Amino acid sequence: MKVLIIGGVAGGATAAARIRRLDEQAEIIVFERSGYVSYANCGLPYYIGGIIEDPEELTLQTPESFFMRFRIKMKVRHEVTAVDPERKTVSVKDLESGREFVESYDKLLLSPGAKPTQPRVPGIGIEKLFTLRAVEDTFRIREHIEKNNPKSAVLAGGGFISLELAENLRDMGMDVTIVQRPKQLMKPFDADMASFIHGEMRRHGVKLALGHTVEGFAERDGGVDVLLKGEEPLHADMVVMAIGVTPDTRLAKEAGLKLGVRDSIYVNDRMETSAADIYAVGDAVQVQHYVSGEDALISLAGPANKQGRIAADNICGGDSRYQGSLGSSVIKVFDMTAAATGINETAAKQAGIDADKVILSPMNHAGYYPGGKVMTMKVVFEKGTYRLLGAQIVGYEGVDKRIDVLAASIHAGLDAIGLKDLELAYAPPYSSAKDPVNMAGFMIENISQGTLRQFHLEDVPGLLQDDSVTRLDVRTAGEYARGHIEGFSNIPVDELRERLSEIALERPVYVICQSGLRSYIATRILAGNGFECYNFSGGFRFYDTVTNEKEMIEEAYPCGMDK
């Protein structure tokens, strides 16, 4: 059996090695357009920032090492220019010599990945405008920085690459601005949770110009002007385009293969395309979202590697199936960690799912053990069924651990209430006897039983205009004095039983505290005394962070600083 693979990074390299492990006799040839195979895309920003010092550490394998261990021919700097499904051949160009030739196959795997999205605006292609996708891009950017010592950079886009690059450039002492059309960074997160990411970026000096449309680029004064719609340009010594990626599917399109969303390659759960003996994996393929069931593009290394293994199994006569993508992700944001899995509240509502959520602020480990830090968790579930839909966590140590537990729970079909029953490892330096994941489950169980009734951030403006309700802040007098929502009166929770006469029994009571715990206790006291009451999800800490960040965005000048 002769197998050709187009693309030698995550999916393609994984498939090649798996095919060899399953079939020692197969002839396997990989064509890779760049000069590198099996490289660590996710490590590229950290090489630019000098955290990864040796460029060889970016490449997990080389063509020579692949051949020595697997007897796989890795043809780097070879571009496949056409695929002929009828003749079962591909046309190839050697980019070093210019030689062109045709190669036949029994099985073909497409793993072309995705390319940086390039908007059709003036100025694309100017010298100091960069993209970051391949190893060569990384070397180009680092060489430019070392040679020219730029003092400022604008990053167009607010996703993973942009945030990681912003951190590394700031650590190098550069002035960094992120500009993009949406009013929040990191699409996997709801706007409220993204507020914590915004705050961390600002604390480290990154300027955020959110809600602004880039209309082009122009060279000026030795640098680059980023042209904004209806605003003054942003000027910087260099600019990096990081507004997303587009499936690189020209070959599939020209070969007549069936396409999916955004011209991605359509595949079934065996990673088979619409053409016989042609498979496809990675950032270029359409997958089904594991939670929503909707067609999706999910450009992450984990899914690409799994798909490569599945395609290899099926190429070798097996019957492996891809179950869909959860989109689980994690990112380092300076000192903070942010992670998400499944779908967020916004996506759930767009998919027509009647979603609810709990927001909590647990410590990453036992409070009595030194060094504990607060994390903010948002767990999204379906009303009525309590189907677990997704989660977002922003914090410090322990965020990755909890998001992995939640991702595994979704994949296993555990409902949101079932989170309370998970038996998770506990020792004071690592967790609490009631882990944050368990706490989310307890809260959701309370909702299902009617023990907990919530109100949310979006409900507050209407409540402040409603004279038929009581608004109550149950923090201490000192906490209340340091900041509160106007219209909420203060009775500390420990004084509540003695001061019930101050609260009108006939009015619903809406209660807030710092994190949601004391206000929950207050609602139980009130309910036990005949009151109708609701607890604010997330507490004043959450409210203050989100509303202040929203105001900062709305009041910001294009560079993200106050007027």
Q: Tell me, rounded to whole angstroms, the distance of Cα 162 from its chain centroid.
A: 12
| Residue 526 to residue 493: CA distance in whole angstroms | 10
Burial of 221 (0-12, 13-18, 19+ CB in 10 A): exposed
533 flagged as catalytic: no
**Residue among 515, 76, 109 at smallest CA distance from 278:** 109
Which DSSP state fits 520? Answer: H
Q: Are 389 and 383 in contact (CB under 8 A)?
A: no
**Residue among 112, 135, 159 at smallest CA distance from 283:** 112
Dump the DSSP string for 436-495.
HHHHHHHHHHHHHHTS--EE-GGGHHHHHT-TTSEEEE-S-HHHHHH---TT-EE--GGG
| Residue 263 to residue 374: CA distance in whole angstroms | 42
Tokens standing for residue 366: 């036992």
Question: 472 has which bridge partners?
Answer: 489, 511
Tokens standing for residue 194: 């993204």
Distances from the Cα of 524 to the Cαs of 34, 380, 460, in angstroms?
Answer: 63, 24, 21
Tokens standing for residue 526: 């009130």
- Judging by DSSP bridges, how do beta strands 454-455 and 114-116 pair with one another? unpaired
- The catalytic site residues sit at 42
